[in-house]
Chains A and B, each alone.
Chain A
C-alpha cells in the first residue's frame, strides 16, 4: 500500500489553501457519512422493534379469568396536587434555583409531570 505524500518540508500559500479545502471536505464528508449511517441505523432499529411488537399484538389473547374488582390503592397521606410536590432531595454544591431548573428540564425531557418524579440527589460531576 502506498502512503500519500509525505515528509513535506515547505509549502506555498496556494498549496496550504488547497490542503485546507481538502481537509474541510474530508471532515464534512466523513461526518455526513456518519449522519447517513445513523439515519439508516435508526430506521432499521425502529423497523425491527416494530416487527418484534407486531407478533405479540397479533397473538389471540388467552381467555383471561374474570378480573377481580380492584380496590383503589390506599392513599398514603394526603395526595399531592398536580401543581405541587413534596419530599426531600439532597443538593451537593447546587443551589435551589439550579436544582429547580434541572428538575424542570428532566421533567420536560421525559414528558412527565414534575410531581410524578422523585429526585433523590443532585450533585455536579467534575
Chain B
C-alpha cells in the first residue's frame, strides 16, 4: 500500500479539490452573517439558520441540495432539497404567518383605525423599487429584470420575510435566495436604516409629540376583526388568501380564547420548527454559482431603496396626519408601517424617547406596524394578481 497514493486519493476525493471560488466567497459571506447573528444579535433566529444553510450548501460534494436521481424515489434526494420543497410549495411562509398571527395583538390598530393608512403608505417602497427595477432593465446593459422578477424584488420593501419568500417562489423562484437574504438582512438592519430617514423628514417639535392614550378595545372586536378581514380582503384579492388566511387563523386562535393549546402551538413550537426549516432552506438556495451575479448586487441595492422609500412613505403620511390632527399624532409612528414586527415599532419608540424621555410611542407604533403586515400581504396579492 502506497501511503502517498492513499493520501493523494483522500485529498482528491475531498471537498478541497472540488471547491470553486464562488463557493469560497459564499462561505465567507455565510461566516459574516453568522458573525452578525451571534455577535451583533441581528435577527439571530433567522440570520443564524439562513447563514448555516448557506454554509452547508456551499461546501462541495455534500449533495444536500441534490434532487432525487431520475426515476428514483424522493427519499434519495438531499436533506436540504427535501426541506426546500416546503418553501417552494409556500407551506413554510404560510405557516410562519399563522404563528405571527397568533403572536399579534391587533388592539392598538383597532383602537386607532387610522393607523391602517400609515401601514398602507409604508408600502410605497415596494412600488418605487418595482419601477426602478424596470428602469434598470431598460438602461443598464446586462441587467434585464422581467416584470415578474421586478415585482418579486420590489416586495422586499414590505419588510416582511414570509411575504417576500411567498411572492418570490410564485413569481421568480430563481431569485429566491438573494431576495430572502436581502429581506431578512435589511429587517435586521432596521435600527440603522430608519432613524436617519426619520430624523431627516421630521422636526424636533414633531418628534417630541406625546400621543393620547388609546381606547380600550373589547374582546368581541378582537374576535370579529380577523374574520371580517379574511372575508373582505380575500373577496377583493383572492390571490392573498393563503398568506392572509393563515395570518388571521393564527390570530383567531389567540383572540377566540377557546383553543389555547392551538394558539400556544402556533406561536411557539410550530413557528420555531418552521423557522428552522425555512431559514436553512432559504440559506441553502444561495449556491455560489447562482448567487454571485451582478443582478444579486442590484437586488440588494433595490432592496435598500425599497426599505428607505417605505419608511419615507410612512413618515410623510404621518406628517400629514400630524397636521390634520393639529399635532396630536407623532409622525415617527409612520415609520413603523413597514411591518418588521415589532422591530420597526421599537425603533419609533427609541427615536421618540431620544427627544422626549417621557414619550412612550411603542403602543401607538404597534398599530401601523401590524397594519403594515396586512398592507404588505395586500401588496403581494396585487402583484401576484398582476404578474402571477
Number of interface residues of B (CB under 8 A): 52
Beta-carbon contact of A109 and B363 below 8 Å:
yes
Whole-angstrom distance between the Cβ of A44 and the nearest chain B Cβ: 9
Beta-carbon contact of A27 and B375 below 8 Å:
yes
- Interface size classification for chain A: 35 or more
The A interface is mostly helix, strand or loop, or mixed, namely helix
B 318-354 binary contact with A (CB < 8 Å = 1; else 0): 0000000000000000000000000000000000000
CB-CB under 8 A for A24 and B123, given A9-B146, A31-B374, A105-B362: yes
Asked if B76 is an interface residue, CB under 8 A from chain A, the answer is no
The B interface is mostly helix, strand or loop, or mixed, namely helix
Chain A residues with CB under 8 Å of B269's CB are: none
Most chain A beta carbons < 10 A, residue from B147, B363, B374: B147
CA distance A37 to B388 in the complex (A): 29
Closest to B342 in A: A125
Asked if A94 is an interface residue, CB under 8 A from chain B, the answer is no
CB-CB under 8 A for A8 and B126, given A30-B233, A31-B117: no
Chain B residues with CB under 8 Å of A17's CB are: 131
CB-CB under 8 A for A31 and B218, given A11-B147, A37-B232, A42-B110: no
Asked if A23 is an interface residue, CB under 8 A from chain B, the answer is yes
Which residues 1-41 of A sit at the B interface, judged by CB distance below 8 A? 4-6, 8-13, 16-17, 19-24, 26-28, 30-39, 41
Asked if B81 is an interface residue, CB under 8 A from chain A, the answer is no
Beta-carbon contact of B147 and A9 below 8 Å:
yes
16 residue pairs from A and B, CB less than 8 Å apart: A4-B385, A6-B386, A6-B388, A16-B150, A19-B147, A21-B127, A24-B123, A31-B117, A32-B120, A35-B116, A42-B110, A45-B221, A49-B220, A105-B362, A105-B363, A125-B103
Beta-carbon contact of A108 and B360 below 8 Å:
yes
Chain B residues with CB under 8 Å of A13's CB are: 131, 134-135, 138
CB-CB under 8 A for A41 and B386, given A32-B116, A49-B218: no
CA distance A38 to B117 in the complex (A): 13
Chain A residues with CB under 8 Å of B360's CB are: 105, 108
CB-CB under 8 A for A41 and B221, given A28-B120, A31-B378: yes
CA distance A30 to B123 in the complex (A): 13
Please give me the 8 A-B residue pairs with the lowest Cβ-Cβ distance, nearest first: A20-B127, A16-B134, A35-B113, A31-B120, A38-B113, A31-B116, A35-B116, A11-B147
